[in-house]
Every structure is written in structure tokens, then in C-alpha cells.
Amino acid sequence: MKLYTFAVPIAVLTVAGVVYTTHSQLTPEPLRSFAVTSVMSSPRAGSPYLHTSTLTRAVRADGSWVEKLDEKHQWRDSYERMIHDYEAGTYTIVEDLTKSVVKSTIPETEYRHRLTAATTL
């Protein structure tokens, strides 16, 4: 009687663990969009002003991401954005200081695996 009352709960827990492990490996978690910002300031030699850099990265559910860099100097501010758009297959750099936009194509082999995981959900 004591062996039966011990074996049944252990068997149920074992089956539940196997089902949970198998399910978690077969069903990927959906990706969530998010944004992260970091700020770094450092003193400048011979200047009362700090050199401040702000880096922001935003990621979409399909894995595409944008990185925005803001740097504040004593006499000017500079902004640069790097955009990895996997749906369009393009990589774009926008630099406000020189007012330039550089656009290039990302080879499909570098991003196709990201889109298939996001669209199967």
C-alpha cells in the first residue's frame, strides 16, 4: 500500500515533466519587441563639459532592429541610426552630421532564419 501511494504521484510528476519539456522544445516562445537605452558620460580633459553618449536599441518581433547613437560634445551634437530591416532585407545608416544615408541589401541567407521563426507563431 505504501509503495502504491508513493509510486503514483512520482509517475504523474514524471509524465508532467516529460510533457512540459517536450512542449517547451517544440513550441518556441513568441518574440516580443523591446527597447534598451544606455547612457555613458565621461570627463573631457581641459573642459568643464562632459562627453555624453546615449545608445538606444529597439528590436521588433521579427528580429529587425534599430540602433541609435547620440553623442553630445561641447560644441556639437551628433546623431547616427543603423537600421537592420529583415522584412525588407535592407541595412540603412543615417548620419545627421553629414546628412548622409547609406543603404545596402542584406543577403537573404543572413536573415531568412529569423523571419521563419517569427512567422510560424
Looking only at the bridges linking them, the beta strands covering 65-72 and 50-59 are antiparallel
Report d(CA 51, CA 73) in Å as an integer: 5
* pLDDT value at residue 103: 94
Report d(CA 119, CA 121) in Å as an integer: 5
pTM over 0.75: no
Annotated domain spans of the chain: 56-121
* pLDDT value at residue 93: 93
* pLDDT value at residue 39: 92
Among candidate residues 92, 74, 72, the one with its CA nearest the CA of residue 83: 92
Report d(CA 79, CA 95) in Å as an integer: 6
Question: For the chain (length 121 residues), average pLDDT per consecutive 10?
Answer: 72 79 63 88 83 89 88 75 90 88 88 61 49
Looking only at the bridges linking them, the beta strands covering 100-105 and 65-72 are unpaired
